[in-house]
Amino acid sequence: MVERMITPESGEQPPALYLHIPFCRSKCGYCSFSSFPCETPPAAYLEALKEQALFFAGQDWCRERVFATVFIGGGTPTIYGGAELAELLGFMRQHFRLSDTAEISVEGNPNSISHESLVQLRRAGVNRLSIGVQAFSDRLLKGIGRAHNVAQAREAITLARQAGFDNINLDLIYGLPGQSLEDWRRSLEIALSFAPEHLALYELSVEEGTPFAALEQAGRLPLPDDDELAAMEEAAQGLLAGSDLIRYEISNYARPGRQCRHNINYWQNGSYLGLGAGAVSCFSGLRVKNVADPGQYVNLIAAGKAPYHDSECLPLTARFRESVIMGLRLLAGVSLPLLREQYGLTPQDYYGKILDDLLARKLIEFGGDHLRLTALGLPVANQVLARLV
Ligand code: SF4
């Protein structure tokens, strides 16, 4: 019997639940995510995921808590049918306590979204849809190996509205090979014409081990240069300034009240339970990562073994640094009283001269009781954060 519930009044942020679907129709050239190409995703994977959920649902840590958000991410979750995802969500509801006002998100790609599946997801209580559009240009989509085209992206957004989704995120990428400033502007303008509640604008990052990394090494990846990237960033700020989307994180923009609560929990270094191949959980500094290979994940669970790849117990100072770095991604910054309360440390004491230097160069600033990036620091956020690791 549960004797006590941990509530926000207990001073602890409610945790998030993440379910990873590691399958996509094909693998994009830049992708470094945990995803494997397949045409028909295995039913056995969802069964294994549920099995892992059951294990955690039986632990007191989970039984004492109400989850504030659920995020089914990937990969491409919508590679499974709406009925399968609805059933998965129903299972989670049965075994975990979800808040009555839980934000429940599903990620999908335009080539695997249908009217029927969207209606099923809405009926199951999914109230936020994140669509991987990336670009409104068939030439660019083809160049990065996406399995969808612009017409499918437009249709997916329209179908989502028709199915009743009133909280839609569109992902877009800039800095793509062969992308001009005009291409980027056009993608943004088309995205804004759909009046999304949320936009995530990512700069392409060429990660080691991807086909793009090999092409770059061979000098065959025509990426925009730094000036072009800066112009794209500036164009985005200019276009979005005329919209109702407000930047609240380095790469994320939302209408008031539509910020992604699930991701805010990550940036505030809150606790989360991650189920599925390659998913990560973090509770009070204990971090556990599941094996990435879905076949191995299914086999380990079928054999009654824990599907963990590795785990670590983070010392207090490492957690403090993570809280600072993740929190600075938010435009509101990181709360100084909260850092003091959680770790008994302040950035001033911990970072000393490094912090003084960043403050003197006006890359970060104190705003009220928060430490945050400045307008000058935002475009070079990665370099600023790297100094605080
Ligand atoms: S759709 Fe996303 S997760 Fe899947 S291969 Fe492409 S980038 Fe990776």
For 243-258, how does the pLDDT look when each residue is reduced to its tens digit (9 = 90+)?
999 999 999 999 999 9
Judge if the beta carbon of residue 259 lies within 6 A of ligand 1. Answer: no
Banded pLDDT at 6 (limits 50, 70, 90)? low
203 pLDDT band, cuts 50/70/90, is: very high
Cα–ligand 1 centroid distance for 108 (angstroms): 10
3-class state of residue 136 by DSSP: coil
Instruction: Say whether 74 sits in a helix, a strand or coil.
Output: strand
Residue 12: the pLDDT is 83
CA 181 to centroid of ligand 1, rounded, Å: 24
CA of 132 to the centre of ligand 1 (A): 9
- pLDDT, residue 10, reads 59
Q: Quote the ligand 1 centre to 176 CA distance (angstroms).
A: 15
Complete edge-to-edge strand list for the sheet that includes strand 364-367: 334-335, 370-373, 364-367
With b for 16 or more beta-carbon neighbours within 10 A and e for fewer, the 194-232 pattern comes to bebbbbbbeebebeeebbbbebeeeeebebbeeebbebb
Question: Tell me, what's the pLDDT at 267?
Answer: 97
pLDDT at 8 over 60: no
pLDDT of 4 reads 59
> 111: Cβ below 6 Å to ligand 1?
no
Determine whether the shortest distance from the Cβ of 27 to ligand 1 is under 6 A: yes
Q: 76 CB under 6 A from ligand 1?
A: yes
Domain ranges across the chain: 8-267, 316-386
CA 203 to chain centroid: 14
Distance CA 117, CA 21 (A): 16
Whose CA is closest to atom 5 on ligand 1?
27
Alpha helix (H) residue ranges in 163-207: 181-193
For residue 2, what pLDDT is reported? 47
Pairing verdict, β 286-290 and 280-283: antiparallel
Please choose from 30, 35, 112 the residue to mutate so as to test ligand 1's pocket, defined by most ligand atoms within 8 A of CB.
35
The pLDDT of residue 152 is above 80 = yes
Look at domain 316-386 and name its CATH class: mainly alpha
Q: What's the length of the chain?
A: 389
11 Ramachandran zone, left/alpha/beta (phi>0; psi -120 to 50): left
CB distance 29 to ligand 1 below 6 Å: no
Asked if the model's pLDDT at residue 64 lies above 50, the reply is yes
Three-state DSSP class for 157?
helix
Q: Which residues contact 365 (CB under 8 A, 6 or more apart)?
A: 359, 371, 372, 374
| pLDDT mean over 305-328 | 97
Is the CB of 78 inside a 6 Å radius of any atom of ligand 1?
no
Q: What is the mean pLDDT of residues 200-226?
A: 97
> What tens digit of pLDDT does each residue of 116-144 get?
999 999 999 999 999 999 999 999 999 99
For the Cβ of 172 lying below 6 angstroms from any atom of ligand 1, the answer is no
pLDDT at 91: 98
- Find the 204 Cα to ligand 1 centroid distance in Å: 13
Average pLDDT, the chain: 96
Q: What is the pLDDT, as a whole number, of residue 1?
A: 46
Place of tokens 């094909």: 26
Tell me, using a 6 A CB cutoff, whether residue 270 lines ligand 1.
Answer: no
Please provide the CATH number assigned to the domain covering 8-267.
3.20.20.70
